[in-house]
Structure 1
Amino acid sequence: MIRVILALMLCVSLSVAAHAREPRIELAADSAEQWVAFDLTPGNQIRFAMTLDDEPVTAILDSGVSASVASLALARRADLDIAAGTSADAIGGEITIGWTTAGRLRLGGLTRRDGRIAVAKLSGMATGSARGVDLLIGSDILSCCALDIDYDRRRFRLLPSGHMPFAGTSVPLAVTRDTHLPVSELRIGTVRIRPVLVDTGDGASITVARAMWDRTRPAPDARMTTTVAFGLGGAIETRLTVLPEIGLAGLSARDVEVRIEPERGFSDETGTAGRIGSAFLQRYRVLLDPRAGHMVLAPGSRADQPPVRSTSGLLVGLDRDRLRVLHVMRNSPAARAGWRDGDLICRVDGRPVALGADKGMDTSWSAGPPGDVVILGMCDGTRRTLTLASFY
């Protein structure tokens, strides 16, 4: 529930080259048997355990990153030398990165030696979690192989390119010329949206650049609201709606959450028309194989499951033992009741703010049945009531 409500994203496209000798990537002969277990962060990204120079680290599988990234905290902990920084495009704006020698990276049946990786601050906010991660594993590593993601069983594996481990709908997949990121296309109505970045590190569903969205001539009665997302470059506000259908090659997906990115946003800066994110990919078993020129999608257990919609209009984040309002969605019950960004909530229906196993918070009340009344205890001692309603 919280993953959808927070709608956090983690994505960075690094457009500079790391001047180092070519890394050596090896795939074990039994890589098909070497599944990697993962969980989903509150921000909807694939988080798993791997090793760096035989030391355990946590990582996120992020096909939207052109160069893998180590956290600044990991680089300091491992006493890695960091070369001079430069700038890179990220969701939310530009960030400063450095470079370091990667050492030996191992995940599943894949081993990478030598080469460099970027170094940047990896905030826990970008995953919606109290704890950050050590690494982002990007397309510089993943593009070597076919990536088989079994969302239903929470596991993935790396296979030699060209393998077809399951049957499904084949969708075109290529790589961008400069950044070598995986891109595909989708269809809204009769309009083809391309190129769209296939980004496992983006916790949203479908994002479309504003100029491309205007070409689709959306229905005038489509109900629209706003949401906020957090990338490495900071927060961005987008418009949000749910479309009855979008198409990918021969596949039709129904009830799809779509975000419309502002002009001069991340898509415009990277020359793409939008993104296919993790919230959409989770409907399917997914094979990403850019070398073979395709992405394969097979319906999973959530293929026909509609998106969870906020009925309160409050997007909140954990601030110690309180909930801080990060965004009040347009046209929502909260907007009509005068809520503001920065409001602090200490109790929900008389109970203190509850933390989950990942030190995240229970926000199921924010998407409760329309008509329900939620009593929210503010941290200044006052109480507010909020009647939930459908609004987009």
Structure 2
Amino acid sequence: MAPTAALTSPENPWPLALLSKNLKAYIDRAPAAWVEGQVIELNRRANASYITLRDVDAEVSLSLTVWGTVMNRLELPLERGARVVAHIKPDFWMKTGRLSMQTREIRPVGLGDLLARIERLRQALAAEGLFAASRKKRLPLLPGRIGLITGRNSDAMKDVMRNAALRWPAVEFEVREVAVQGVNAVAEVSRALAALDAMPEVDVIVIARGGGSLEDLLPFSHEDLVRAVAAAQTPVVSAIGHEADRPLLDEVADLRASTPTDAAKRIVPDVGEELARIGTARSQLRRIMELMLSREADRLMHIRTRPVLSAPQTMLATRADDVSRLRDRAFSAMRAEVRRDADRISYLRAQVLSLSPQKTLDRGYAVVQLADGSVVREAAAVEPESALRIRVASGELGAVATGPHQP
């Protein structure tokens, strides 16, 4: 006989009892686990109840067997639609080859438990900085196209579109109708958010729902959706419309609107108000311009009344008189200076002339020079027969030296 299932063959098969025995041994080793889900089917029998439990976030169901002793420990009877946690362990019934999930304990999940979970998640995401005001993006003043994620044919969609059109008739929407509660809500809203975020013409995204119970709004506190909104590049507006218990979507969104109608008022401006603001701004601008022109006109009038502009020839005449007076003073000073210098030159000329050799010659003296032009100062220095030049007061004479003579 084959020792393992992998070694069996048509010629060497296992007995069915051996396979069942091995399956039971394998399944019995599996540990018990706590699971959470929503009761969608409940069949009560004499000593046992059979429950179909569905995952709260996915289309996955599981059948449970709950014995009467476990059900009797519940304070309140279990109802369809209830959210529960159950401690289950798989069990294989060898005789019929049937796998069942034996429930050892089952507990309803109350509002307090749900709120506690949401609060723990809120604190964890806040510690990561996902709710920080610094990361929130500013909404555009006038979005060209608005992405709207809402329920199929819902009143929230109508409220947003109608009120936005009343405020700004030219507004355009890119609508994605999705499930806003139930197991498919998180996945569908996240896909719609990713699709709108990828469209460059969408300037802002609104996620709208018209309120509901805490259980209905749980998808908007789901961690996957919160992180998807935090990662979006387009500004996101949360318009869930539930004031009592704010979902985590309100915390991570770039803007939180109290209702879908409030969201419409906050994402587009009111055309009447904007026209009134433009009119006010134009009036203020006109008043400022008129005031500035009046002030400048007064300044021009004041400048024109000044003497320099009212009678400019007066300034020219005054300056002409000043120029004439200064010119006459300059000429007088120059003439006086010239006369003084002329007198000084005459005096110096007389001094020069009185000291001039010509004056000496005029008194009868003569200057004797040799042929080379040197002046004869001693008779002994002149050789006999030397040519001499004798300069008198008027003219020169030529002579020949005969020799020195004693006076």
TM-score (norm 1): 0.22
More helix by share: 2
More strand by share: 1
TM-score (norm 2): 0.21
Higher RCO (CA < 8 A, seq sep 6+): 1
